[in-house]
């Protein structure tokens, strides 16, 4: 039974966010990936598609989550489910940090709206 200690979880930084890999195939999970995403104030990730459904549980602050043009404004404690294949974008439009726990089936591939394949999410592997 894998036990991932917080202090040993891998951290991935992008220009838009910091992701902490909590579970995934490289950490002993056969079916699910889970990570924490942290967005600084006014940060926004790029629009992209993932071929897996994702569940976002906002744990701090507030986010704007767009899926195929439908916009949601979850705050801490709210959950948003983004369908597989939807063009999605995650933004923090607040003046404090926003944070969420994200879960999806392992092996999700990312493509850009123009179809460019970006491969697997490194924090979800």
pLDDT digits (tens, 9 = 90+) for 78-93: 999 999 999 999 999 8
- The pLDDT assigned to 120 comes to 94
| Pairwise CA distance, residues 91 & 50, whole Å | 17
* Token pair 């930084």 in the structure block, residue: 13
User: Cβ–Cβ contacts within 10 Å for residue 41, how many?
Assistant: 12
- The pLDDT assigned to 94 comes to 85
Distance of CA 101 to CAs 81, 83, 115, Å? 12, 16, 27
Residue 33 lies in a domain: yes
| Pairwise CA distance, residues 15 & 32, whole Å | 25
The number of distinct structural domains making up the chain is 1
- The pLDDT assigned to 93 comes to 83
- The pLDDT assigned to 59 comes to 97
The 8-class DSSP code of residue 122 comes to G
* Positions of the chain with pLDDT lower than 70, given as ranges: none
Residue 89 lies in a domain: yes
CATH of the domain at 110: 2.60.120.10
Residue 65 lies in a domain: yes
| Pairwise CA distance, residues 98 & 30, whole Å | 29
Residue 10 lies in a domain: no
- The pLDDT assigned to 22 comes to 96
Residue 34 lies in a domain: yes
């Amino acid at each position: 039974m894998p036990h991932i200690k917080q202090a040993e979880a891998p951290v991935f930084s992008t220009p838009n966010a910091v992701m902490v890999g909590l579970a995934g195939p490289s950490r002993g999970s056969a079916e699910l990936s889970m990570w924490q995403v942290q967005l600084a104030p006014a940060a926004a990730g790029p629009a992209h598609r993932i071929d897996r459904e994702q569940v976002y549980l906002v744990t701090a602050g507030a986010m704007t989550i767009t899926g195929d043009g439908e916009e949601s404004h979850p705050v801490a404690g709210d959950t948003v489910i983004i369908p597989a294949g939807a063009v999605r974008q995650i933004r923090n439009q607040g003046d404090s940090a926003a944070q969420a726990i994200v879960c999806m089936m392992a092996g999700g591939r990312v493509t850009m709206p123009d179809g460019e394949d970006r491969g697997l999410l490194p924090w979800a592997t």
